[in-house]
């Protein structure tokens, strides 16, 4: 059996990826998380002294806190199974990656276990997050210079 | 079982989203010093606004605006334009214009409650709007 033949066979036997379904569930899950975030943000604006600009920080902290609790109680993986990328892309997915890694390496001690393994998954998120923030800022600077949008 | 529950929750959320579209529109005005008709005219003419709140208090004119979805990218620019127009028609008032949601929330609250220490609340709001992250 050569390589091509094997690839063909593998394609025939493995189940088809339901792309459309995955996209729809990811859209709905990510949208729901962002909707909750919007409500949290509105809550901070209505009852505390935060404006639209400053309420983003406590909102992010609250969402990460909720994701942390859900991860600890084992509920976030169910959301992840249903939503896929929709649950991984928002900030809650980042929180989940940090906390689940910390839980996993708890038995190896606090310094060499939790401390060194906590950002195993989240490290790449930080790296590419910083990089993509740089790219987006670059694009926005150019657009502002051309007068398409304002700051 | 799990799928059913998720489906029910999603249906509920969808209904909430659809229903929340029915919120208040138009221009709300509270006036205790100057003539409001000019400000109303300026805000009504602007097609990019969905709603607005106007509050006159002693030497202050505060305007909270809601812009439509795609004009949100030009929020700062719209604020500046409206501020310029208002300052022209009310030269002896200090004009504050903001598209921030906080502005409309607080102004609506002030109008509804009609409090006595409005000046204090207004100063607080102004300093809040200057804050950066």
Query: ipTM value of the model?
Result: 0.73
Mutate to test the interface with A, among B6, B23, B76 (most CBs of A within 10 A): B6
Phi and psi at residue B44, in whole multiples of 5°? -70, -35
Length of chain B: 133
Look at residue B30 and tell me whether its pLDDT is greater than 80.
no
Look at residue A10 and tell me whether its pLDDT is greater than 70.
yes
* pLDDT class of A104 with cuts at 50, 70, 90: very high
Nearest alpha-carbon partner for A149 in B111, B124, B4, B70? B70
Find chain B residues with C-beta within 8 A of A54's C-beta: 131-133
Tell me the CA distances in angstroms from A146 to A80, A82, A132, B73, B81, one per residue in order.
40, 42, 21, 14, 19
Q: Is A46's CB within 8 Å of B105's CB?
A: yes
SS3 B71: helix
Q: Is B132's CB within 8 Å of A53's CB?
A: yes
- DSSP state for residue A110 in the 8-state scheme: I
Q: Is A149's CB within 8 Å of B74's CB?
A: yes
Q: What pLDDT sits at residue B67?
A: 87
* pLDDT class of B133 with cuts at 50, 70, 90: low
**CB-hemisphere CA count at 13 Å for B36?**
19
Q: Exposure of B59 by Cβ count < 10 A (0-12 exposed, 13-18 middle, 19+ buried)? A: exposed
Q: Which two three-digit tokens encode residue B72?
A: 């949100």
Closest Cβ opposite residue B133 in set A46, A57, A149: A57
Q: What pLDDT sits at residue B4?
A: 80
Find chain B residues with C-beta within 8 A of A50's C-beta: 102
Q: Is A49's CB within 8 Å of B124's CB?
A: yes
Closest Cβ opposite residue A51 in set B13, B73, B128: B128
Q: Is B105's CB within 8 Å of A78's CB?
A: no
> What is the nearest CA distance from A144 to chain B, expressed in angstroms?
10
Interface of B with A (CB under 8 A): 2, 6, 10, 13, 17, 73-77, 100-103, 105, 124, 128-129, 131-133
Mean pLDDT across chain B: 82
Nearest alpha-carbon partner for B109 in B95, B96, B124, B94? B124
Q: Does A4 reach chain B within 8 Å, measured CB to CB? A: no
Q: Is A35's CB within 8 Å of B13's CB?
A: yes
CB atoms within 10 A of CB B62: 24
Q: What pLDDT sits at residue A74?
A: 92
- Asked if residue A35 lies in contact with residue B17, where contact means CB atoms within 8 angstroms, the answer is yes
Nearest alpha-carbon partner for B101 in B119, B128, B120? B128
The whole-number average pLDDT for the span A37-45 is 93
pLDDT digits (tens, 9 = 90+) for B40-79: 888 888 888 888 888 888 888 888 888 888 888 888 888 8
Tell me the CA distances in angstroms from B41 to B27, B49, B106, one per residue in order.
10, 13, 23
Domain ranges for chain B, please list them.
24-130
Q: Which CATH number fits domain B24-130: 3.30.110, 2.30.110, 1.10.3470, 3.30.300?
A: 3.30.300
Q: Which two three-digit tokens encode residue A119?
A: 């950002």
* pLDDT class of A41 with cuts at 50, 70, 90: very high
Residues 6+ apart with CB under 8 A from B119: B57, B58, B60
Look at residue A1 and tell me whether its pLDDT is greater than 80.
no
């Amino acid at each position: 059996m050569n390589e091509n033949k094997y690839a063909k066979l593998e394609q025939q036997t493995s189940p088809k990826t339901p792309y459309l379904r995955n996209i729809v569930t990811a859209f709905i899950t990510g949208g729901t998380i962002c909707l909750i975030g919007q409500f949290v943000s509105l809550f901070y604006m209505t009852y505390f002294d935060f404006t639209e600009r400053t309420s983003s920080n406590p909102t992010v902290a609250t969402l990460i806190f909720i994701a942390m609790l859900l991860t600890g109680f084992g509920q976030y993986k169910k959301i992840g199974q249903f939503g896929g990328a929709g649950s991984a892309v928002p900030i809650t997915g980042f929180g989940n990656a940090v906390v689940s890694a910390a839980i996993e390496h708890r038995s190896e001690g606090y310094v060499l276990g939790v401390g060194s393994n906590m950002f195993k998954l989240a490290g790449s998120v930080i790296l590419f997050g910083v990089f993509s923030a740089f790219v987006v800022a670059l694009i926005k600077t150019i657009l502002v210079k051309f007068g398409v949008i304002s700051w | 079982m799990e799928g059913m529950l998720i489906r029910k929750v999603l249906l509920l959320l969808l209904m909430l989203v659809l229903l929340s579209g029915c919120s208040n529109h138009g221009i709300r005005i509270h006036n205790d010093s100057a003539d409001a008709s000019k400000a109303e005219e300026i805000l009504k003419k602007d097609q990019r606004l969905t709603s607005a709140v106007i509050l006159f208090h002693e030497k202050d004119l505060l305007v909270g605006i809601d812009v439509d979805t795609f004009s949100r990218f030009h929020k700062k620019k719209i604020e500046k334009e409206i501020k310029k127009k208002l300052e022209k028609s009310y030269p002896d008032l200090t004009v504050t214009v903001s598209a921030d949601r906080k502005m409309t929330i607080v102004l609506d609250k002030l109008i509804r409650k009609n409090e006595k220490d409005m000046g204090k609340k207004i100063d607080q709001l102004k300093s809040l709007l200057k804050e950066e992250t």
